[in-house]
Amino acid sequence: MSYAYYNTTGLVLSSEVEGESKTFISVLTPEYGLIFAEARGLSKPESKLRYSLDPFTEGDFSFIRGKSGWRIVNARPVVHWFHQLKGEVSRRETALRVLRLAYSHIPRDQEEVKAFEIVMDFLRVIKSAPLNDLVFIETYSVFHLLATLGYVATTESVPYAPWSENMLTDIAISKSNMVKSINKALSSSHLS
């Protein structure tokens, strides 16, 4: 039986080892949302996938989908985001909060192009943004991620656009309303 290959870009959000040869990887993708896929043999030193599936690695992935679910058959890393944020404790903590929220709220196996764009834009921006701006970038990104996923009404704030320094004033003005909407959404979702 031959399987169709699904090729996409993505971001590894987590990995969980099961036994000696199986690892389950969660990958956020634009076309398929959050995918939970099996990867075999990652603990072997000769594994070609071993370093491509570290958490917080952005890359190009190939999957097959069988009766028992998704399986990763190839991966090529593009950016290891935690290596990019090495020595930057506040940037890493900010990234972890947003990525955990993405992991818990983005649906499985469902197209989520806008959610993927928001997460990737967020990572690219926090890498070099001034530390004082991180709270605004996080608030803006979380608000729009939740709005994209239907947890927050989008009329409550600034429409989403890729981050720019010019947005700081508008976000600073809207921040308290965004935080209220975020807290309300997280409370009512029971997923936080």
pTM: 0.90
Q: Give the pLDDT score at 106.
A: 94
Round the average pLDDT of the chain to a whole number and report it.
Answer: 90
> Residue ranges of the domains in the chain?
5-81, 87-189
Q: Give the pLDDT score at 46.
A: 76
pLDDT band at 48 (very low <50, low <70, confident <90, very high): confident
Distance CA 111, CA 32 (A): 5
The more confident residue out of 133 and 189 is 133
**Single-letter residue type at 3:** Y
Q: Which two tokens stand for residue 9?
A: 């870009």
Does residue 43 surpass a pLDDT of 90? no
Does residue 2 surpass a pLDDT of 80? no
pLDDT band at 188 (very low <50, low <70, confident <90, very high): confident
Distance CA 123, CA 31 (A): 19
Q: Which two tokens stand for residue 137?
A: 């970038």
User: Do residues 73 and 64 touch, judged by C-beta distance below 8 A?
Assistant: yes
Q: Give the pLDDT score at 149.
A: 92
Q: Give the pLDDT score at 157.
A: 54
The yes or no reply on domain 5-81 and CATH 2.40.50.140 is yes
Q: Give the pLDDT score at 192.
A: 56
Does residue 64 surpass a pLDDT of 90? yes
Q: Averaged over 7-19, what is the pLDDT?
A: 92
Q: Give the pLDDT score at 191.
A: 62
Closest to 92 measured CA to CA, from 101, 82, 100, 102: 82
pLDDT tens-digit readout, 81-120: 999 998 899 999 999 999 999 999 999 999 999 999 999 9
pLDDT tens-digit readout, 108-163: 999 999 999 999 999 999 999 999 999 999 999 999 999 999 998 765 555 788 88
